[in-house]
Amino acid sequence: MEILVCVKRVPDTADAEVALRPDGRGIREEDLAFGINEWDNYAVEEAIRLKEKHGGAVTVATIGPAESEDVLRRCLAMGADDAVMIDEASFRGADPYGIARGLAGLARRKAYDLVLAGALAGDDGYGMTGPVLAGYLGWPHATLVTSIEVEGKKIAVARELEGGLEEILAVELPAVLTIQTGINEPRYVSIMGIRKVRSKDIPVLAPADIGVGAGEVGENANLLRSLGLSTPPAGAEAVMLKGAPAEVAQRILDIVKERGGVA
């Protein structure tokens, strides 16, 4: 089974103080740590497990700056066979449609059976790239996938629905799947493992190499345009209630009544 996994280098904002850029169209990234997108990490692990069970090869790919090489080498250390980077220059500022167009061009270069991607990216959270990629390729797709079983020329996938429900689908190959967190437990990547793949060649492809013409991608070709980011307005401060337990309880009840909580 030939599998292509699309990955992305994103900033880690979980425990960081996030500040907007002066132009209001992004966040300041100077002091942020970067790494593989969390959902993509699960996608890479699932691809490697499918390879270990059914044979074949796993290729990881990204559209990003030169620093994205670290993410690709981490994927190689996990067990991916090959990695490829698409030069970011022409894609700078591209929306999910432009990114998907580039990835579709890459996917057409080889007879892949399956393309995996994270369900969404931790930076912009669109959740669109996988489905749009499937549309460009003309392949079936499933999103928020939580399990994959290969059944000959088809795969049986479980996907997460709202309300704790799960849907089981039979999907013809080739197909595109977007992977939900929790589908597996991504393996630990050691420093020694990364050192072993340090010399692995990672080709960098130009847009022409993947059939993308000048002006077809990038900010000027976007179908979606970001008008700006803003921080949410500060809410009212918390009210600290003091007094005896009975007094505090009565005050809480009064507040609930004042706000329409009880008649």
Tens digits of residue pLDDT in 89-133: 999 889 999 999 999 999 999 999 999 999 999 988 899 999 999
Report yes or no on 233 lying in a domain.
no
Report yes or no on 106 lying in a domain.
yes
Report yes or no on 243 lying in a domain.
no
Q: How far is CA 33 from CA 16, 183, 240, in A?
A: 9, 25, 37
pLDDT above 90 (res 260): no
Report yes or no on 254 lying in a domain.
no
Q: Write down the mean pLDDT value for the chain.
A: 92
In the prediction, which pLDDT does 33 show? 87
In the prediction, which pLDDT does 166 show? 95
**Based on the structure, what is the number of domains in the chain?**
1
In the prediction, which pLDDT does 20 show? 84
CA 196, CA 76: separation in Å to the nearest integer?
9
Q: What is the pTM of this model?
A: 0.85
In the prediction, which pLDDT does 30 show? 82
In the prediction, which pLDDT does 50 show? 98
In the prediction, which pLDDT does 107 show? 97
In the prediction, which pLDDT does 15 show? 76
Locate 20 and state its tokens. Answer: 């907007």
For the segment 176-189, the average pLDDT, to the nearest whole number, is 96
pLDDT above 70 (res 51): yes
Report yes or no on 69 lying in a domain.
yes
Report yes or no on 186 lying in a domain.
yes
What is the pLDDT confidence band of residue 203, given thresholds at 50, 70 and 90?
Answer: very high
Report yes or no on 253 lying in a domain.
no
**C-beta separation of 182 from 146 below 8 A:** yes
CB-side neighbour CA atoms (13 Å) of 132: 16
pLDDT digits (tens, 9 = 90+) for 132-166: 999 999 999 999 999 999 999 999 999 999 988 99
In the prediction, which pLDDT does 179 show? 98
Q: What is the DSSP string of 123-184?
A: TT----HHHHHHHHHT--EEEEEEEEEEETTEEEEEEE-GGG-EEEEEEESSEEEEEPTTSS
Angle at 63 between CA 48 and CA 227, to 5 degrees: 125
For the segment 17-40, the average pLDDT, to the nearest whole number, is 86
In the prediction, which pLDDT does 263 show? 60
Percent of the chain topping pLDDT 70: 100
In the prediction, which pLDDT does 21 show? 83
CATH number at residue 83: 3.40.50.620
Report yes or no on 239 lying in a domain.
no
CB atoms closer than 10 angstroms to residue 161:
10
Helix axes 69-78, 38-54, angle to 10 degrees: 40
In a 10 Å sphere around its CB, with 0-12 CB exposed, 13-18 middle and 19+ buried, how is residue 34 labelled? middle
Q: How far is CA 212 from CA 62, 130, 216, in A?
A: 15, 18, 7
> Would strands 34-36 and 9-11 be described as parallel, antiparallel, or unpaired?
antiparallel
pLDDT digits (tens, 9 = 90+) for 213-259: 878 998 899 999 888 888 877 777 778 889 999 999 999 998 888 88
CA 222, CA 94: separation in Å to the nearest integer?
6
For the segment 54-81, the average pLDDT, to the nearest whole number, is 96
Q: Which of these ranges, 20-29, 45-54, 168-177, has the smallest mean pLDDT?
A: 20-29
H-state helical runs in the chain: 38-54, 69-78, 96-107, 129-137, 191-196, 245-258
Per the structure, the complete domain to which residue 80 belongs is given by: 2-221
